[in-house]
A and B are shown apart, each in its own frame.
Chain A
Amino acid sequence: MNVAVVTFPGSNCDDDCHYVCRSVFGATTIQVWHKEKSLPSGVDVVILPGGFSYGDYLRTGALARFSPIMEDVVRFAGRGGTVLGICNGFQILCEAGLLPGALIRNQSLRFICESVPVRVETTESQLTSALEKGRVLHIPIAHMDGNYFAKEDTVRGLEDSDQVLLRYCTSEGEVSDASNPNGSCANIAGIMNSGRNVFGMMPHPERASETPLSSIDGRELLAGLLGGSL
């Protein structure tokens, strides 16, 4: 398994993604600088990591999507290549038009960092195929702009075609306003494209992949993508 992790200026979870892909899943990881014009050959999965690319200036992800490497990421996705955007990576994917909608400022207008319960909404994806629908995972979020927004018909489209991956919920799996940490439309925490090969999520699965840290639920999501035995 060859994983490319793109480093944009201001990315700060790139090291974490490398580390988990390598140490937990035994994947071969390649660090790709955003000024590169093409992805290395033989890449199976591209990860756009979390962080503050371009300092979140203008809008989150709005500048990073113009980084030279993004043209090839778009081509890679168009060929059916697997792309995962985590947090800032999700924001970049939305700005790049690879995923619908946008991530706007948290309703509270404050940064939120904590482990939250999210519910698996579909098993029809590489990430969740081994999990059961309705399963509650505890995975940290850490963002200022994680409030997923899309027009009503876009959200309905995502739901109708089973593209919602994860929703914020209570520990018991109930999706409610009270379990929505940031104001996201329909409690959406993660989605995929219609081709089911581009994934975006605000929770950080790499932060929940080892026993000494808060939880190992994130490992189950990544395992779907990266294989390897758990």
Chain B
Amino acid sequence: MSDYQSSQFTSEIIEEHGLSPDEWVRAVEICGREPNLVELGIFSVMWSEHCSYKSSKVHLKRLPTEGPRVLLGPGENAGVVDIGDGLAVCFKMESHNHPSFIEPHQGAATGVGGIMRDIFTMGARPIASLNSLRFGPIDHPRTRHLLTGVVSGIGGYGNCMGVPTVGGEVQFHEKYAGNILVNAFNLGLVPANRIFLGQATGVGNPVIYVGSKTGRDGIHGATMASESFDDEALEKRPTVQVGDPFTEKRLLEACLELFERNLVLGIQDMGAAGLTCSTFEMAGRAGTGINLHLDAIPLRESGMTAYEILLSESQERMLLVCSPEQVESVRAVFEKWDLDCAVCGTVTNTGRVVVTHHGEQVVDLPASPLADNAPMYDRPYAPPEDLEVRRTLDESSCHSDDLLADLYALLSSPNLSSRRFIYRQYDHMVRLGTRVGPGGDAALIRIPGTDKAVGMTVDCNSRWCWLDPRQGAALAVAEGVRNLACVGAEPVGATDCLNFGNPERPEIMWEFAEAITGMAEACAALDAPITGGNVSLYNETDGVSILPTPTVAVVGLREGLSDESPNPSSAFRSNDSVVAVVGKVAGGTLGGSEFVLHKTGRTAGIPPSCDLSAEKVTSDVVRELVQGGLVESAHDVSDGGLLVALAECTGAHHGHHLGADIAWTGDETPTQAFFGEAGARIVVSFPADGYGAVQALAEKYGATLTLIGTVGGDRLIVSYNGHSITADLDEMYSRWDQGLANAVGVNQ
């Protein structure tokens, strides 16, 4: 490429900054001259895919973002949803994929720290975290190191912050061997009338830097997250930031003290692209300008250049604006918590960000065009050439000769076994809110002083998305809503983390566009508006892309809970209770299933489609059953199919396992009936004398309800068209419980 027209930079320099020739021309137009090196660095990060969403924006616009409870949709640091009683929840999910691959502990830790700052910068106290993880096969030489590092990083940061990690998901697949995914979700609680925004308001007001000092870490992290990996990726370790949860904990408490005392007019965390991004965005949103003095910025090391100070991604920092009279009070709060606090600039009415360093002006750029008018691309898209190959599966080759052996194998497999090895390393109880924690269908966190609880879950079946991104993404939303129904919560909003390969490849862009279509349809049909999220592209190494992974976290509300209300359970609770399926028992497909992966090592076939009206009916019925206390247990049928779900229902409730005797008939093969996967199915159990009430509710919604058996005994007996298995509970439980730990090679 030599079509960069520049009098001062070589094409290589501009290219290294990630700007295309067209973007360079646009940058020159915006400046009215050629940008200098510092300004080039600013364009580089502000217009990176990570910060600007330039390839995805055109599609993201299709997502529904409004709902009766939505107070704040996409565009701010996080979305906000009203939950009544003068309270709101603020939540968002973000990826930290690239850094976590390079340095798993710090990459994951700073991912957690970053999403928490996004939440508390809105004025909210973080009360719960979730995460969604993807790794290569468990026996890949790098996976154990990556998995243990990511888990210790998430735990190390979240535990120290005193924010419980209450749920998540993790999957292993060969397509993630070169690009793991670390998506972190956080939810905070905020008074509905006291939400703070990232806006630099009030000409003449001081701009204040607070938190950690600025060092040379993480320079160009946002640019790194916008590139594909090659063999040299691991040499990028110095661009991964290092987290200090102790500082962030103090920063959190100090900021909450400011909010409580109303000492802030606008505030934004310094995340990707650091001081640059927060300065431009705060001025851009408010339609103001900022004069910034770099000599005032607290530095960790000497001799840092303006370029380095502006682009550093040092963690645990915030930029805030207050009135001149409030400066001393602000300073006192940060002194109390032993944190740096420096007035480093002023809000202006110029619409420009002007930066000085050592008495010299080093940057003079308009705020809004950089922050809001980044280049936008409608990149070409086309279905992958091998789509038909992917979707071809000879189902007769995927036949179970030994149903019990296959059940045991699935239950102990890395994808389906218990996640206890992981969540035991997360404090999931601190703050005394966790009514349902990890291991449940969705987490359920009580809200102090109310009769409410907030449900939350994160889901995505990426194998289905690879075979049919539209249906797969819709099913991810539907699964979230189903999981919430199992804890009695009604969806109020959702956040997404869209992880894909290189958008410059038409087939990746097609996956992306299709997934957005499916997600948009499901979010609209199931009343789960998207209030914000994150896009992570370029998850590709040496030409191999990840499975498309449009992860969705759905947030729900449950009301009318008392201390005496039983906590929702996915496990059977009483002998002699009746077991039933809400939704069609039959109709599972083997395409893209865990069973096929287990049998053939392939991800292939036509995956299930998302029947949105069936999803709505199933979730509505189960939600009301759980809320009304009409069922003792409710558990979504997902990966692994009905047999795996039934096995999970025999899991421990208060330390006790209850077996069941199950039988049904149908037109499918036993393999399909036991291991086929589909949406819109939930296993419930209830006392036999409650059948009338359950049946009446199912009829009211027009839902299918099929009785399939009875709880009891110390075995799980399942019979379909006369094909029967008998599984010993202890045997089954120990395989399931130890599966992941054994695969990682540790005792727990």
Contacts and interface: CB of A to CB of B under 8 A. Distances in A.
B152 A110 contact: yes
B426 A51 contact: no
A13 interface: yes
Nearest to B148: A110
Interface in B405-441: 423-432, 434-435
Given A10-B246, A10-B249, A56 B160 contact: yes
Contacts, number: 95
Interface in B521-574: 561, 563-565, 567
Given A20-B432, A213-B432, A112 B424 contact: yes
B245 A55 contact: yes
Nearest to A12: B162
A207 B246 contact: no
Contacts of A12: 160-162, 249, 430
A185 to B, nearest CB: 20
Contact of A9 (B159, B249, B429): B249
A136 to B, nearest CB: 12
Contact of A52 (B246, B337, B434): B246
A89 interface: no
A211 interface: yes
Contacts of B16: none
B245 A16 contact: no
Given A9-B338, A112-B425, A55 B430 contact: no
Contact of A55 (B244, B427, B448): B244
B430 A13 contact: yes
Contacts of A212: 435, 446, 561, 563, 565, 567
A174 interface: no
Given A13-B162, A16-B431, A210-B432, A111 B564 contact: no
Given A56-B160, A110-B425, A16 B246 contact: no
Contacts of B426: 111, 113
Nearest to A33: B336
Given A19-B448, A113-B424, A52 B249 contact: yes
A119 interface: no
A211 B446 CA distance: 12
Interface string B270-313: 00000000000000000000000000000000000000000000
Interface in B17-71: none
B655 interface: yes
A52 B564 contact: no
Interface in A11-29: 12-13, 15-16, 19-20
B429 A113 contact: yes
B114 interface: no
Nearest to A55: B246
Interface string A95-108: 00000000000001
A16 B430 contact: yes
Given A10-B249, A55-B246, A111 B159 contact: yes
B433 to A, nearest CB: 9
B429 A15 contact: no
A28 to B, nearest CB: 19
A95 B337 CA distance: 23
Given A9-B337, A55-B244, A111 B427 contact: yes
A220 interface: no
Interface residues on B, range: 35 or more
A230 B156 CA distance: 36
A6 to B, nearest CB: 14
A207 B249 contact: no
B250 interface: yes
A69 B737 CA distance: 45
A214 B429 contact: yes
Contact of B250 (A9, A33, A57, A214): A9
Contacts of B160: 10, 12, 52, 55-56
B193 interface: no
Contacts of B161: 12
Nearest to A15: B431
B425 A111 contact: yes
B563 A211 contact: yes
Nearest to A113: B427
Interface in A93-140: 108, 110-114, 140
Central interface residue in B424, B435, B448, by most chain A CB within 10 Å: B424
Interface in A28-82: 33, 35, 50-52, 54-57
B8 interface: no
A119 B159 CA distance: 26
A197 to B, nearest CB: 27
A113 B428 CA distance: 7
A175 interface: no
A142 interface: yes
B432 A16 contact: yes
B748 interface: yes
Interface in A190-230: 204, 206-207, 210-214
B676 interface: no
A19 B152 CA distance: 29
A171 interface: yes
Contacts of B250: 9-10
Interface string B314-353: 0000000000000000000000111000000000000000
Interface string A133-155: 00000001010100000000000
A108 B430 CA distance: 22
B432 A207 contact: yes
Contacts of A214: 429
Interface of A: 9-10, 12-13, 15-16, 19-20, 33, 35, 50-52, 54-57, 108, 110-114, 140, 142, 144, 171, 204, 206-207, 210-214
28 contacts: A9-B246, A10-B160, A10-B246, A10-B249, A13-B162, A13-B430, A16-B430, A19-B448, A20-B432, A33-B336, A52-B159, A52-B245, A52-B246, A52-B249, A54-B246, A55-B247, A110-B152, A111-B426, A113-B423, A113-B427, A113-B428, A113-B429, A140-B429, A142-B430, A207-B432, A212-B565, A212-B567, A213-B435
- Ranked 3 nearest A-B pairs via Cβ: A12-B162, A55-B246, A52-B160
Given A10-B249, A210-B563, 16 more contacts: A9-B338, A12-B162, A13-B430, A15-B431, A35-B336, A50-B430, A51-B162, A52-B159, A52-B246, A108-B748, A110-B424, A111-B155, A112-B425, A113-B424, A114-B424, A212-B435
